[in-house]
Every structure is written in C-alpha cells, then in structure tokens.
Amino acid sequence: MSNITLSVDDEIIRKVRKSAIDRHTTLTQMVRDFLTEVAARESSERLAAVQGLDRTFRSCSRDMGPHTWTRDELHER
C-alpha cells in the first residue's frame, strides 16, 4: 500500500477528525473510502459509456449483404 502526503488546513483536519470519531472510524479510513468510491465511480461511468456506444452501434448498423467486391474495384477511377 502506498503512502501519500497531503497539505490540508488545520481547521478542516480538526472538523473531519471529529466527524470520523462520530462515525467510529479514522481520518485515514475516510480518505481511503473516498478515493475507493471515486475510482469505482470512474470505472462504472466508463463501462456505462462503452455499453451505450455498443448499443448505438448495434442499433445503427445494417446488414450490407455479402462483400462481392475487391478493394481495387472500390478504388477504380
């Protein structure tokens, strides 16, 4: 597990420590939980976007029949 160093205003640290005590946890655990939530949200948003694109591609694509042409035929001038 990696360690990080943060610079945070003393007053904010004091308030969050009190909040952590009320929740029966620690400031460190609250930061871990927050970062874990952000990472999970990013992953789920990315997955939802990929799934949306996949649905769009499937709904917009059409069967063009067999390919009876060659690349050279397509580019004849």
pLDDT exceeds 80 at position 6: yes
17-40 confidence digits (pLDDT tens): 999 999 999 999 999 999 999 999
Rounded distance, CA 10 to CA 68, Å? 73
Domain boundaries, the chain: 9-53
Residues of the chain above pLDDT 90, percent: 58
Averaged pLDDT for residues 47-73:
88
Q: What angle in degrees, to the nearest 10, is found between the helix axes of 10-22 and 27-60?
A: 90
pLDDT exceeds 90 at position 62: no
Q: What pLDDT sits at residue 28? A: 94
